[in-house]
Structure 1
């Protein structure tokens, strides 16, 4: 009997969608067809590949009326936010624009005697394992440049957002994409690891947990498959004395609580200089209290349920442990009667927190944020670096020289000034420490999805 994947809706606990798991033979055959289709695709002119990929993205946009409520049903994001199309289009457009430059040969010599150059060859078959929190955005980060660069793509989505991969592939197929080149597979963990261990792919991009990243590394051991891993995060914000207070509160709190805090580069801990601390805390708590927790299909809802009751349980546990250890919660639970002890979880702001508490150390990935008072830059830098993760850091000051100086000392993948929870497609999306390895988007993203091939052509014998 075949296994079945089931998406349990966080709205009401019902089964929203289910699909049969591909058997090992079915999965292997699908990947083989993708590999066969890749050769002809790589031989097509770059301009044609770009045009077809852009057509696929446009067709996906035309499905927004279906996609937005579907996302709400699968992972709980309120429909008022309109899905992920803004970011999808920004990233797809930018990667299409820079493709010719990023993939252009590096010419070392072009003379009567020698022709020496380095070209970019597609990896071959790229596996994209996408998460549930931003299932379109995270997938597009790799899908678009991988296909433009001449690769075939195999897409596997998290069970929580079961229908996303199917929908993206359907959009590309409806726009005239070649058969078998871009496929979606419904796989369980065992099936995915078996394909990886068999050396079925030339490159794998995974966004998910540290544990998931380790499982992929173990499965790929000895296959020499290239890996790009974006794993956990515990991103900090640091508010300095010359920051625009209202701007900092608005952006950092949105970065902490948007999408029920389920953001890869969401703000999970905030450090505020002594002179602004009291005012910041007061405004931050007021910001959180104004959120409307409820059914994500209702237009007035600004905070939907967490994707899974298990995720909400972890956030509740971290919060309760912190309060028991002396942290002070600033949001009254009576303001959020919709908090049902399951997927619907109220926002919380904690003060009197320390790095001895898990809520300031472990990834929370939910609508809770701790705020600490700091004396100076040195203390803030030490606290920001006191973490096993390193994805982004958000610095708030009117002095870009100071921000750059502090940023150089932070162990992170991206330093932002007066901005948070944002991915710039022109910059490499990367991390350090337990956040993972590799880099997506930008020209570097293209380099990771291709391999260098050198040509040393001697034209004359003497």
Structure 2
């Protein structure tokens, strides 16, 4: 079987990869396990030094890797460079902070000596999506390697070239051979990979449905999972918000990665008294974005990652309109030559409960504007979802903002007067149908270690 990497700008095949046989997959896992048996004995200083070398290589190769992302999934070059630099920063973060996070923690008890130790658990399987083909991997890989674990990656088939380059960066940085391997295979191979006795845990970023399947498969074998799944992030715009600032941030938050992000803003819940003015400002910001070739420096939005994803998105828009939503911007297939995956920034208004854009995640450059009667109603609407990944609130009242963010919004991350984003120092993850577990920060590195009690009398 073959795996194709296809250019979403023109539909042409970039490269064909031979899919790993089942035997080769398990051979790779065996090689990673054997490497782990010695790698787990390395000290924090050695691991940190290697991670810093990875960071250095990523910075050196940022332009090359950004071009690969532009080619394989349509990310504009400037966004690709930013993604690679963020990967470098997470490697540096764990190199500098990993020792502190993983050092023994002394606990006073009736014992003569008692403490908590953090021990590596072995080989972690990462199942990763195409939308941030480097960042999604490194936010798992940097803490895993710092903790003394090793990893195997099942990346999205469309970004196989990115997966191969990640393995090369780890190798070139001087890590021991086989601490990290890419499995070139389809999703059909995942159950057998999870069953391999050397796989000790699984981390997945993807759809809620994919998360359910992986959780079920791993759960039967009592293997730890961390799931970062879908989101329908609400952005609340209250009556005292700086509307010009809010409109700009909201547009950028909706269109980040062409809207193909779990934490991209999805639902814009605006208090009625400022809805008309905000809508006008927001529309102006959305339509100012330039769609074009991801290789052009002035492009804001490239194509979506695949034509079928664009087609599914358009059907969601049409269904929402059929259910009563109004389209005030975009919503039509662009007339461009060739087999492309472009879709314009789109705004839907009159979005109410029962309309697809209210109830489901829309993974693309489509914004759903929802009118709330007041602040309390805006909070109610924000929490009226099965998801719970990120949320944001815009208001000039800091006390109110903090109370809403801390106590009222049901989400893993709540931001005030800023778009939701991930930071190496802060835990990242969701609740409800958006998943469980955390990545990044101290909490992220503790997900895949044996938190061991040692008690001496």
Q: Does 1:412 align with 2:402?
A: no
Offset of residue 61 of structure 1: 2.4
Indicate which of 291, 294, 302 corresponds to 1:293.
Answer: 291
Deviations 1:248-307 (A, max 9, x none): 111111010122110110001101122221111001111111122222122232111111
- Equivalent in the alignment of 1:104: 103
Offset of residue 420 of structure 1: 1.0
The answer (yes or no) to whether the contact 2:129–2:206 under 8 Å persists in 1 is yes
Question: The residue matched to 2:217 in structure 1 has which SS?
Answer: helix
The answer (yes or no) to whether the contact 2:53–2:173 under 8 Å persists in 1 is yes
Deviations 1:206-252 (A, max 9, x none): 00111211221232232111100111111010011221111111111
Offset of residue 195 of structure 1: 1.3
- Equivalent in the alignment of 1:426: 425
Offset of residue 388 of structure 1: 1.2
1:142-153 to 2 correspondence within 5 Å? Answer: 142-153=140-151
- Equivalent in the alignment of 2:251: 253
Offset of residue 372 of structure 1: 1.7
From the superposition, tell whether residues 88 and 37 of structure 1 become closer, same or farther in structure 2 (CA, over 3 Å).
same
Offset of residue 371 of structure 1: 1.0
Q: Does 1:453 align with 2:452?
A: yes
The answer (yes or no) to whether the contact 1:199–1:223 under 8 Å persists in 2 is no
1:141-290 to 2 correspondence within 5 Å? Answer: 141-290=139-288
Worse overlay, 318-327 or 408-417: 318-327
Deviations 1:6-37 (A, max 9, x none): 11221111111221121111111111111111
- Equivalent in the alignment of 2:373: 375
Question: The residue matched to 1:162 in structure 2 has which SS?
Answer: helix
Deviations 1:51-89 (A, max 9, x none): 102212221222222211111111111123343123223
The answer (yes or no) to whether the contact 1:41–1:150 under 8 Å persists in 2 is yes
1:106-145 to 2 correspondence within 5 Å? Answer: 106-109=105-108, 114-145=112-143
- Equivalent in the alignment of 1:87: 86
Offset of residue 138 of structure 1: 1.1
From the superposition, tell whether residues 337 and 191 of structure 1 become closer, same or farther in structure 2 (CA, over 3 Å).
closer
Distance in 2 (CA, whole Å) between partners of 1:280 and 1:59 is: 44
Question: The residue matched to 2:263 in structure 1 has which SS?
Answer: coil
* TM superposition outliers: structure 1 runs of 4+ over 6 Å: none
* TM-score with structure 1 setting the length: 0.94
Indicate which of 22, 35, 54 corresponds to 1:24.
Answer: 22
Offset of residue 47 of structure 1: 0.8
- Equivalent in the alignment of 1:439: 438
From the superposition, tell whether residues 47 and 296 of structure 1 become closer, same or farther in structure 2 (CA, over 3 Å).
same
- Equivalent in the alignment of 2:307: 309
Distance in 1 (CA, whole Å) between partners of 2:338 and 2:164 is: 32
Alignment RMSD (CA, Å): 1.9
Indicate which of 33, 36, 39 corresponds to 2:37.
Answer: 39
From the superposition, tell whether residues 339 and 110 of structure 1 become closer, same or farther in structure 2 (CA, over 3 Å).
farther
Offset of residue 335 of structure 1: 11
Deviations 1:29-49 (A, max 9, x none): 111111111122121110110
Offset of residue 340 of structure 1: 7.8
Offset of residue 197 of structure 1: 2.2
The answer (yes or no) to whether the contact 1:294–1:304 under 8 Å persists in 2 is yes
- Equivalent in the alignment of 2:52: 54
Deviations 1:176-221 (A, max 9, x none): 1110111111121222221102333111110011121122123223
The answer (yes or no) to whether the contact 2:236–2:269 under 8 Å persists in 1 is yes
From the superposition, tell whether residues 357 and 199 of structure 1 become closer, same or farther in structure 2 (CA, over 3 Å).
farther
Distance in 1 (CA, whole Å) between partners of 2:309 and 2:332 is: 22
* TM-score with structure 2 setting the length: 0.95
Question: The residue matched to 1:35 in structure 2 has which SS?
Answer: helix
Number of aligned residue pairs: 455
Distance in 1 (CA, whole Å) between partners of 2:213 and 2:198 is: 16
The answer (yes or no) to whether the contact 1:353–1:372 under 8 Å persists in 2 is yes
The answer (yes or no) to whether the contact 2:51–2:92 under 8 Å persists in 1 is no
Offset of residue 326 of structure 1: 2.9
| Consecutive unaligned residues in structure 2, runs of 5 or more | none
Offset of residue 337 of structure 1: 4.4
| Consecutive unaligned residues in structure 1, runs of 5 or more | none
